Amino acid sequence: MEKVLMKGNEALAEAAIRAGCKCFFGYPITPQSELPAYLAREMPKRGGVFLQAESEVAAINMVYGAAGAGVRVMTSSSSPGISLKQEGISYLCGAELPCVIVNIMRGGPGLGDIQPAQSDYFQATRGGGHGDYRTIVLAPASVQELVDLVYDAFDLADKYRNPVLILGDGILGQMMEPVVFKERPAKELPPKTWATTGKMGRQKSNVINSLYLDPVKLEEHNRKLFKKYQEIEQKEARYEILNGDDAEYFVVAYGICARIAHAAVEMAREEGIKVGLIRPITLWPYPKKAFEEVLPRAKAFLTVELSCGQMVEDVKLSVEGRAPVYFYGRTGGMVPTAEEIFEEIKKMRGLS
């Protein structure tokens, strides 16, 4: 298999095409511009659709239309744009439409800046828009993983009829790493018998809808959605534990932050500190099992994020008070050095 050196944003775009993405709708925003530019170049050549929408709102609703028509579809943006898409994401979840939404996160709130951040964690993992719903959230930490997770994202979306978010950041999008586009056997997925393709001989018309005026019906629908979410929680949580076998202390970090934390963990190991790294790959469902696995020997946890502390709440919920949970974050587009995190690891050991 040939290895190519590619930027995260472009690798993501290429993986989407290979995963069978037929339509892309987006609106320009930094720092994810290479992704739509790549698709604008490639989609027309390879039988796909690229369309620059008039707004983020329009783009996500175009996604709704295309997803409802039964094709694989994607949109991408960065934090402020993802806020605008929330209306559409809520409708997509209500109508149970599969799609992939990429958020290359930048600093906020408001216009914030264009530097890497992880401050949209709550928005991504708690639904984000109105109503009782969840989206699957994938958090790659390398360009190769980004590519692999794009394929998975489309499969998961189709399998569960649910939007899947890929949460990246400016560094991941801009960085180059070797990547292999593996040939993957097509997954067996449920046929899209619900899609509005025109009746085409079908007896009954199909309807894509999120309106249930009768509260009895809406509650039924909500319960059905939550049953689906429970199944996803049971089956799809993913994580990686590094240097964990004999570890007594754990750093918890995802995405680019996990890479820096990994470097810090290696520094600490060189000084004989028994520390490991828990790297959630799915942020929703949150990989609670990772914590179950290490809790018997864990003395403390240190959550590191590019935010003022969001994922730390899920860490606390997973640890359930059985060990202290500390937090270290940089925000506004600032990125911690491995040395900074190493210092925090030493502090954690001193405190517990």
Partner 1 sequence: MKVVFERPKSLQPTKTHYCPGCGHGVIHRLVAEVIDELGIQDKTIGVAPVGCAVLAYNYFDVDMQQAAHGRAPAVATGIKRALPDRVVFTYQGDGDLAAIGTAEIVHAAARGENITVIFVNNAIYGMTGGQMAPTTLVGQRTETSPYGRDPQVAGYPIRVCEMLATLDGPSFLARAELTDVKNINKAKSYIKKAFEMQLAGKGFSLVEILSPCPTNWGMKPIDAVEWVKKEMVKVFPPGVFKEPKEG
Partner 2 sequence: MKLEIIMAGFGGQGIMLMGEILAHSAMLEGREVSWIPSYGPEMRGGTANCMVVISDKRIPSPIISSPDILVAMNKPSMEKFTPMVKSGGVVILNKALIDERPARNDIEIIEVDASGIADELGNMRVANMVALGVLVGKTGVVKPETVIKSIDHFLPEHRKNMLEINEKALMRGIAEIKK
Among 13, 15, 35, 71, binds partner 1 (CB under 8 A): 71
- State the minimum distance, in angstroms, from the CB of residue 348 to partner 1: 46
Is 277 in contact with 265 (CB distance < 8 Å)?
yes
**How many CA within 13 A on the CB side of residue 117?**
26
214 burial class (0-12, 13-18, 19+ CB within 10 angstroms)? exposed
Question: Does the footprint of partner 2 cover residue 57 (CB under 8 A)?
Answer: no
Quick check: helix, strand or coil at residue 323? coil
Name which of partner 1, partner 2, none residue 1 binds, using a CB cut-off of 5 to 8 Å depending on partner kind: none
Neighbouring residues of 139: CB distance < 8 A, sequence distance ≥ 6? 166, 167, 168, 254, 255, 280, 281, 282, 283
* CB-facing half-sphere around the CA of 50: CA atoms within 13 A: 18
> Which residue, 49 or 295, is less far from partner 1 as judged by CB?
49
Q: How far is the CB of 196 from partner 2 (least distance, A)?
A: 43
88 binding partner 1? (CB under 8 A): yes
| Residue 268 makes contact with partner 2 by CB under 8 A | no
CB of 5 to partner 2, least distance (A): 5
Q: Note whether 300 binds partner 1 by CB under 8 A.
A: no
| Residues 128-147, interacting with partner 2 (CB under 8 A) | none
Residue 337 binds which of partner 2, partner 1, none (CB < 5-8 A, kind-dependent): partner 2
The Cα 31–Cα 14 span in angstroms is 17
CB of 138 to partner 2, least distance (A): 20
Select the residue interacting with partner 2 from 9, 61, 76, 115 (CB under 8 A): 115
Instruction: Check if the beta carbon of residue 285 is closer than 8 Å to that of residue 236.
Output: yes
Please identify, using beta-carbon distances, which residue of 67 and 136 lies nearer to partner 1. Answer: 67
Of 318-337, which residues contact partner 2 (CB under 8 A)? 333-335, 337
Residue 104 as a binder of partner 2 (CB under 8 A): the answer is no
Instruction: Give which of partner 1, partner 2, none residue 262 binds (C-beta under 5 to 8 Å, depending on kind).
Output: partner 2
Residue 244 in the binding site for partner 2 (CB under 8 A) = no
The window from 153-161, 176-184, 196-204, 309-317 that contacts partner 2 (CB under 8 A) reads 176-184
Dihedral Cα 22, 27, 28, 29, nearest 10 deg: -110
Helices 143-160 and 215-236 cross at an angle (nearest 10°) of 140
Answer for the pair 176, 12: CB distance below 8 angstroms, yes or no: no
Under 8 Å between Cβ of 141 and 172:
yes
Q: How many residues sit close enough to partner 2 to count as binding (CB under 8 A)?
A: 24
Which of 284, 299, 268 minimizes the C-alpha distance to 122?
Answer: 284
> Per CB under 8 A, does 176 bind partner 2?
yes
- Binding to partner 2, residues 246-265 (CB under 8 A): 256, 259-260, 262-263, 265
> Which residues, at least 6 apart from 154, have a Cβ–Cβ distance to it below 8 Å?
16, 19, 20, 21, 72, 98, 100, 164
Q: How far apart are CA 205 and CA 228, in angstroms?
A: 25
User: CA–CA separation, 321 vs 201, rounded Å?
Assistant: 59
Which residue among 15, 16, 17, 67 contacts partner 1 (CB under 8 A)? 67
Q: What is the dihedral of CA 264, 269, 270, 273, to 10 degrees?
A: 110
115 binds, among partner 1, partner 2, none (CB under 5 to 8 A by kind): partner 2
Judged by the rule CB under 8 A, the positions of this chain that interact with partner 2 are 3, 5, 115-116, 170-171, 174-178, 256, 259-260, 262-263, 265-266, 333-335, 337-339
Judged by the rule CB under 8 A, the positions of this chain that interact with partner 1 are 22-23, 25, 49, 51, 53-55, 57-59, 61-71, 73, 87-88, 91, 95, 196-201, 205-211
